[in-house]
Structure 1
Amino acid sequence: MTAALKVVIADDEPLAISNLKAKLAVYPNLQIVDCFDNGDDTLQFLQTAADIDIVFLDIQMPGIKGIDILQQAGKSSAMSKPLFILVTAYEQFAFPAFEHFAFDYLLKPVSRQRLAQTLLDARTALDKQPDQPLAPPVNKLTFKTGGSTLLLDDIEIMLIEAAGNYMCIHTLHETLIIRETMKELLQRLPKQFVQVHRSTLLNLHHVHKLQPHNNDYEFTLTDGKKVNASRRYKLNWADQLSALPQN
């Protein structure tokens, strides 16, 4: 079996690290080795660590800046290890990043689709497993609606909300209505679908931001939609959002 790609994340925003870790958790062939919240510790680690494959590097951090870390890496090719993927909210740093051989440049908020393409390109560049590109596992889910059966990829579903005796499935492209209970869905859906409110199931893979809101919480999804989350259900999702993937 091919060894997992070793990943380092450097960002001074804890929520940004948590968000990226949650998105990377769906990839079985990634191993997050360490995370840093400042440039000095990041540079020191990279100068001594061996066999790091990918570094997700924020531009603006306390201490030495991300772009300076990239410059001090002294790379002569964007394809040589480690691959530096710059992550920032600022477009103006793109040119100096590529000038110093960054592998890719991601703008916050990083979409799952854009991240997937970057990781696919990284797998190809590192030539770890060319005949089996890095890709998240996709589960096919079935739902009964009337006399028909819906077949959906789990990644297509953003959230599911109760509406009387029905459930509304909000996908990336449309809203579908099924007749099934919350309890039944929770028993058979993949673990990334968690109850965040008495009437709401959320796919954590689509979470971009989480913040306190009126003594509870508010999730912002990758399409900008806001979802209220009750503090009562925090244990359902807190560990998954913060947990490091183990393989």
Structure 2
Amino acid sequence: MKISCIAVDDEPLALELVCKFIGQTSFLELLGRFDNAIEALQFINSTEVDLIFLDIQMPDLSGMELARIIDGKQGRKKPKIVFTTAYNQFAIEGYKVDALDYLLKPFSYEEFLKATTKAYEFYEKQTLEQAVSLGITTSDFIFLKVEYQLVKVMLSDILYVEAYKDYVKVHLKSKPNPLLSLTSMKNMEELLPANDFLRVHRSYIVNVNHIDAISKNMLQVGDAHLAVSEHYKEGFLKFIEKWMK
């Protein structure tokens, strides 16, 4: 997922720094850079923008005045705002116009990334909510966070899920390489429907529809042979009884 953004600052060095930080951030896409708020407003009125890095003290039209104009707009998606300023007295006013964050100059890339991560998480949640509202039942698919995007995965395509450090590997029938997602096996177990997915080991969740062979302590899914641990054996044996009827 890419977040489209613009940078607005009347100080050339400050504007250059923000644009440099945007270029270093893989999930941000810079659409424009402006040294005054009036030109920025004209651009926003004609182009859809997700995020604005906005200085507050500027001539003619201040960043706070621009933010109030944006906040008062009706009938179209409003971009989120991250204020960039050398003056901390504007923080309360910034939150009144629903600013996403407030960066106090001079700020580091670490601080910049923390603010932009808030924007990423906001749009990630919004994307997921929109996908669910399309009318496709969530029993058909899940969304997995893979790097900096949400990837739609059909449940029927999942062979098995494997624990991998702080991640999980989701092995798919349609792809030679697994998807690597930053989540836990516990979260995956809660996310996947129990009728089709079975936890057989602390490291494995299998799609029962893709099991090719079963033995006492092992099962085969495609070319993979997966162990069944003692902790999950009771549930596994119940599944075998049901499977063999």
**TM superposition score normalised by structure 2:** 0.49
- Structure possessing the higher relative contact order (Cα contacts under 8 Å, 6 or more residues apart): 1
